[in-house]
Structure 1
Amino acid sequence: MAFDPLQERGIPLDEQMRDWRELNVTPIDPDHADPYTRCRIITMNGIETEAILFSHQLARHCPDTELRRQLARVRYLEAQQQRVVNWLLPGVASVLETTIAYEQVAVDLTSWVARMEPDPYLRQAYQFGVLEDFDHLYRYANLYEMIEHRKAEKIVDNLTEVMPGRPTYLHHRDPMDNVREPYDRTRTEPLSRLHALTIMAAEQQTMNFYMNVGPMHMEPIARQLYQEIGLIEEEHVTHYESLVDPGESWWEMLLNHEYNECYLYYSFMETESDPKVKNIWELHLGMELEHLRLAAELFKRFDGRDPDQVLAPALPPPVTFEPNKAYVRDLLSTQIDYTTLGTGYVREAHERFSKMQEAIMGGEQPPSERVIDDNRAISGQDYRFEVEAAVSR
């Protein structure tokens, strides 16, 4: 039977506050956990972080003190959720190991969304981005082998391949060409709204992570690689956030955020292999159902519409982390030479792209190329992890 979050009872707000003992969750074991459990954790960290940041922005534009108090109350509970989710990550994992997991999220989550996206223009946006994150995974995997003397295949398991995508140095585009056309809120499928919010939040979290952890490395090549890819993640956030219709009201955006949180917690509860983590997804879903109910009341009050006018009547099929090897390889064979021009895509370099390349490179080889050369010099070859027969989707 279909799950309709608007018809389900959540945990009353007064019962959602947790103490330190409840917040101090035991992290997953990086040596034995399902890699996709870690991917789900990273994804929900990004989703909760976006929820918190959006609520702060809404509060800063809201003149009603009582409404700001309600937002603050829910936001504090979202902040507790974010800490619980993020604290599931193991402290024994290095920054680079977590980075590789972030890129595995970007590859397999974005691939899944692209496969499920009903709108051809939006689907193309996800296909374009995934080939760049795929190459970032390859660059970081080489850095990992070079400075930690370990193989990324231990982190991604047999689920995601590690090999070159669209070369990272070609990702530096004029900012004007990172802005896409938004979906039309009056006509788009509810699923497309959820996809856009999900990938925007995931990429935003990656951008924030890299801009903060990059300078924590001692090795010059590591600091430089994080700086380069971190700037590309800024481009990706622009790319994905521009897909969201800016004509949505604050209350419609709040409604979509809360519905999307319900969708993802429900999805991960349904697909999680770790019982302990599954229990957290289930608990947080119960909390989010109440957050959604409150957002729906505000939407009806200030927009004068029923939530059913913009939300799906029931949740779509669950978001699923699964291998996408053949799908990515197909994109590599057909779209690796794409770049952007205006709100569209072209195969050849153009004047703005060439000027950006000249400006950012400064006549020097970029860190993303040097890390491959440096690893070849140390290891005898660049690091790749390819599956002989890529038969998965």
Structure 2
Amino acid sequence: MTFNPLQERGIPLDRQLRNWRELNVTPIDPDHADPYTRCRIIAMNGIEVEAVMFSHQFARHCPDPAVRQRLAEVRYIEAQQQKAVNWLLPGLASVLETTIAYEQVAVDLTSWVARMEPDPYLKQAYQFGVLEDFDHLYRYANLFEMIEHRKAEKIVDGLTEVTPGRPTYLHHRHPIDNLREPYDKAGTDPISKLHALTIMAAEQQTMNFYMNVGPTYMEPIARQLYQEIGLIEEEHVTHYESLVDPGETWWEQLVVHEYNECYLYHSFMQTESDAKIRAIWELHLNMELEHLRIAAELMRRHDGRDPEQVVASQLPAPVTFEPNKAYVRELLATQIDFTTIGTGYVQDMHERFERMQQTIHGGEKAPSEVVIEENRSKSGREYRLETEGPHPVPSLRAER
């Protein structure tokens, strides 16, 4: 059945405000919840944070008091949605356990987007990034075993493999080489706009998370690893945000943001296995439909255009969290040695990349390498979860 969010009516804005009791949601049980339920929660938190921060930026650049008031009204509801979503995560879970879940989101959400993306250049951007997040999952899983004496398989539940990707120490590139060519807003497929915004928001939330939780650890190797990967997440946000056409007006961006929230809540409502969480997705969808109606109204009034010129008249196939093991293994076998120069991809280490490597590492081993060595020493071997057989790259197979 087709679903056109531009034609649907949601909950009126003046009925969306919730009290503390309504916002005090029951968190998931980390030992029994579907791992992909937790992934959906983490993904939607990132989407809601982006919605709030975008609205703040819009307000700071908007001279019209009436528009600023409308943004403030919607933004407060978005902030309540973000709290309800993020508070679904259990306090019982450690920061590192949540970190591993964040990286599972990055691997399986970005892989799904790469598989569905119609534009070859944009597809390559997602393929490039997923091999780096895949390696981050492996590094954090080893830290998890080393300092918490637990295994990541309990978190990812065999849905996502844990094994080396593109080695993390090779992710440190000159900043200008993290910029990509933006899509053309006039010619790109509407789904491409949603993909770019979704992955940008997810990576931005990961960047924010790591920059804040990293220094809360006492263990030197944990502090160092969060610092290293936190810097790479900044690179990833630059990588993905540069895919968005900078010529999009504030009104266009507002519509795309609200439409994307409708798309994701609708997707997760259809695929959620937990009935209580599904009810939250449905409630928030009905709120977002009204937010989209308001954004569309503002666009018509101030931009002189209809939202149908920017987004599709019906939602695409739902975003689905599912295993992507074969897809990731194919990328490992064919793209693991890629890096970037300018807005393109190369397999040779160029001079600017090598200078950055020398400067950032200073002749020492990166924390991402040290954590594997230390876990080998402490546990007798590094941690991996290879459910589909040996690593597809012979040089990265486990030491025996």
TM-score range, shorter chain: over 0.9
Unaligned runs of 5+ in 2: 391-400
Summarize deviations over 1:142-200 as a string: whole Å, max 9, x none.
00000000000000001000000000000000000000000000000000000000000
Distance in 2 (CA, whole Å) between partners of 1:388 and 1:271 is 25
**Which whole-Å CA distance do the structure 2 matches of 1:173 and 1:389 have between them?**
31
Shift of 1:310: 1.2
Q: Could you tell me which residue of structure 2 aligns to residue 61 of structure 1?
A: 61
SS in 1 for 2:266: helix
- 2:357 is aligned with 1:350: no
Secondary structure of 2:6 counterpart: helix
Q: Which amino acid is the alignment partner of residue 311 of structure 2?
A: L
Runs of 4+ in 1 over 4 A off after TM superposition: none
Specify the alignment match of 1:300 in structure 2. Answer: 300
Distance between the aligned counterparts of 2:106 and 2:149, measured in 1?
24
1:86 match: 86
Alpha-carbon separation, structure 1, partners of 2:4 and 2:173: 41
Letter in 2 for 1:351: E
Cα separation, 1, equivalents of 2:329 and 2:218: 35
- TM superposition shift of 1:211: 0.1
The alignment covers a number of residue pairs equal to 390
- 2:151 matches 1:131: no
Matches of 1:196 and 1:300 in 2, distance apart? Answer: 24
CA distance in 1: counterparts of 2:318 and 2:388, whole angstroms: 29
Query: 1:232 deviation in Å?
Result: 0.1
| Counterpart residue type for residue 87 of structure 2 | W
Secondary structure of 1:6 counterpart: coil
Q: Per-residue CA shift, 1:40-79, capped at 9, x if unaligned?
A: 0000000000000000000000001111111001000000
Q: Which amino acid aligns with 1:355?
A: R
Deviations 1:7-43 (A, max 9, x none): 1110000100000000000000000000000000000
Q: CA deviation at 1:343?
A: 0.2
**SS state of the match for residue 340, structure 2?**
strand
Matched with 1:49 is 49
- Give the corresponding residue for 2:245: 245
In the aligned structure 2, how far is the partner of 1:26 from the partner of 1:202? 23
Residue equivalent to 1:39: 39
Tell me the amino acid that sits aligned with residue 216 of structure 2: M
Shift of 1:388: 3.4
Q: In the TM superposition, what whole-angstrom CA distance separates every residue of 1:245-281 from its partner, at most 9, and x where no partner exists?
A: 0000000000000000000000000000000000000
Overall identity of the aligned pairs, in %: 79
The CA distance in 2 between the partners of 1:194 and 1:387, in whole Å, is: 32
Measure, in 2, the Cα distance between the counterparts of 1:366 and 1:344. 25
Q: What is the CA–CA distance in structure 2 between the aligned matches of 1:295 and 1:103, rounded to whole Å?
A: 32
Q: Does 1:184 align with 2:184?
A: yes
Any stretches of 5+ residues in structure 1 without a counterpart? Answer: none
Structure 2 match to 1:224:
224
**RMSD (Å) for aligned C-alpha atoms:** 0.7
How far, CA to CA, are the matches of 2:319 and 2:385 in structure 1? 26
Question: What residue identity is the alignment partner of 1:328?
Answer: V
CA distance in 1, matches of 2:120, 2:44: 26
Match of 2:315 in 1: 315
Residue deviations 1:280-335 (CA, integer Å, cap 9, x gap): 00000000000000000011111111111111110000000000000000000000
Q: For 1:303 and 1:114, how far apart are their aligned partners in 2?
A: 32
2:271 maps to which residue?
A: 271
Paired position in structure 2 for 1:382: 382
Q: Within the alignment, does 1:289 sit opposite 2:281 as a pair? A: no
Amino acid at match of 2:270: E
Name the amino acid aligned to 1:219.
E
The residue number in structure 1 matching 2:207 is: 207
**TM-score, normalised by the number of residues in structure 1:** 0.99
In structure 1, distance between residues paired with 2:270 and 2:47: 18
Q: Which residue of 2 aligns with 1:107?
A: 107
Residues in 1 aligned to 2:283 and 2:389: alpha-carbon distance in whole angstroms: 40
Deviation string 1:333-379 (CA, Å, 9 cap, x unpaired) is 00000000000000010011000000000111110000000000000
Q: Match of 2:313, SS?
A: coil
Q: Tell me the secondary structure at the aligned position of residue 2 of structure 1.
A: coil
* Separation of aligned partners in 1, 2:10 and 2:388: 47
SS of the aligned residue for 1:345 comes to strand
Aligned to 2:393: none
Task: Provide the residue aligned with 1:257 in structure 2.
Answer: 257
Q: Match of 2:394?
A: none
Q: Which residue type is aligned with residue 96 of structure 1?
A: L
Using the alignment, how far apart are the partners of 2:234 and 2:66 within structure 1? 35
Distance in structure 2 (CA, Å) of the matches to 1:210 and 1:306: 39
Which amino acid counterpart does residue 172 of structure 1 have in structure 2?
A: H
Partner SS for 1:7: coil
Which one-letter code corresponds to 1:36 in the other structure? Y
Deviation (angstroms), 1:389: 5.5
**Matched residues in 2 for 1:172 and 1:309: separation?**
39
Name the CA shift for 1:388/1:185 in 2 (closer, same or farther; >3 Å).
closer
What is the distance in 2 between the residues matched to 1:257 and 1:66? 20
Paired with 1:306 and 1:291, the residues of 2 have a C-alpha distance of 16
Q: Is 2:8 the counterpart of 1:24? A: no
Q: Distance in 1 between matches of 2:88 and 2:303?
A: 38
Give distance in 2, aligned partners of 1:63 and 1:168: 44
107-116 vs 306-315, which moves further: 306-315
For the residue of structure 2 that corresponds to 1:185, the secondary structure is: coil
1:143 aligns with 143
Q: What is the CA–CA distance in structure 2 between the aligned matches of 1:249 and 1:388, rounded to whole Å? A: 46
What's the TM-score, normalizing by structure 2?
A: 0.97
